[in-house]
Amino acid sequence: MTQSIAYLDYNATAPVKPAAAAAAAEAMRSVGNPSSVHRAGRLARRAVERARDRVAGLVGASASEIVFLSGGTEANALALAATGLRRIVVSAIEHDSVLASAARRATVAGGPELVPVDGDGVVDLGALRETLARSREPALVSVMLANNETGVVQPVAEVASIAHAQGAVVHCDAVQAVGKIPVDFVSLGVDMMSVSAHKLGGPPGVGALVVREGVRFEADRPGGGQEFGRRAGTENVPGIVAFGVAAELAHDDIARAAEIAAWRDELERRVRGLAPEAGIYGAAAPRLPNTACFSMPGVASETQVIGLDLAGVAVSAGAACSSGKVRPSHVLRAMGVPEAEAGTAIRASLGWASSADDIERLIGAWTELYARAGAGGAAAESAA
């Protein structure tokens, strides 16, 4: 794939893979509602079910457990609403879509109960156990598999074991992890899991909620009974077909994890060489191979994002962005990073079309920006 920029923001969205785009285009040229019984409808249904098999194969689930919907945000919102549980327990580093849905749905204990993380960004299992033990009210526990800002991988299987022992239902936002590391729904032991196509080379606007058979689940809207009665509305056939293709191709990306991790490690080594006082967040914990979250001492995150963009390098602030605005990172705050330091963090994330040249372009631009800001001094000139 030819790029005019060094694109290092895969955790925000990955470039659509050519094969996925071609599959979507082909599906758009076809006609037929998957719920229709005529031949065109049956062909559309066949395409949807083939994609369902592919997505299920990527995440180690049964095809009947895959519910297609519009993406990770809808999957998270539906998971937190579908059980009807009023007590919701979430980690302090969840994605905004989980935190906002939890705040809206939780009516026990005055809102969602937050479980802290340690300085490496890993959820505190002891605190989770203590939180659940405070009440006999049935709970829904939601803990992500990998953090979108730091890439830190959470001990979800242990979370599920602790939560189930207390009679809780467990949801996992696996949006950032699927397609980057092996993910097995059964091994994780969770009851529901969110996945999104555009994080792994599929199109935006389509995703899936994996729902374990037997879990209490109430659809959030009436309609025609699509998706096993769990999500009403005509399926987005082109998006679903492309999602299936991207899911199948994601196995190749997972096989490249060591190569991508080596590029990430080289980036962090070079940053530390330029600025020994720079923070590398989550580096002591298990992480996604593609994600680096690090600071430029004394230079605001927004300044870095803009400066690097002008140099042809696309990264994001350590915090998720809303309407194009950089906000303080609740993730870094939860990890105990001082606010002033957190305000100098950015995230670089690699993926299927990344190369070693992208790392070189980022380092070159980062070095120049650091020197221009007056923070780099001699270190910027002498670092290799």
Active site residues: 321
- Cβ count near 184 (within 10 Å): 12
Q: With contact defined as beta carbons under 8 Å apart, do 161 and 189 qualify?
A: yes
Question: From start to end of the chain, where are the E strands?
Answer: 6-7, 66-69, 87-91, 113-115, 139-142, 169-173, 192-196, 207-211, 291-295, 313-314, 316-317, 321-322, 325-326, 345-349
Tokens of 265: 């490690």
Q: How many helices (H) and strands (E) does the chain have?
A: 14, 14
Report d(CA 80, CA 106) in Å as an integer: 9
Q: Which residue in 163, 228, 239 sits closest to 198, CA to CA?
A: 239
In b/e form, how buried is each residue of 22-55, taking b as 16+ CB within 10 angstroms?
A: ebbeebeeeebbbeeeeeeeebbbebbeebbbbb
Q: With contact defined as beta carbons under 8 Å apart, do 292 and 267 qualify?
A: yes
- Cβ count near 148 (within 10 Å): 27
- Cα-Cα end-to-end distance for the chain: 29
Report d(CA 77, CA 56) in Å as an integer: 21
Tokens of 275: 């600025």
Residue whose token pair is 């969602």? 112
Report d(CA 222, CA 218) in Å as an integer: 10
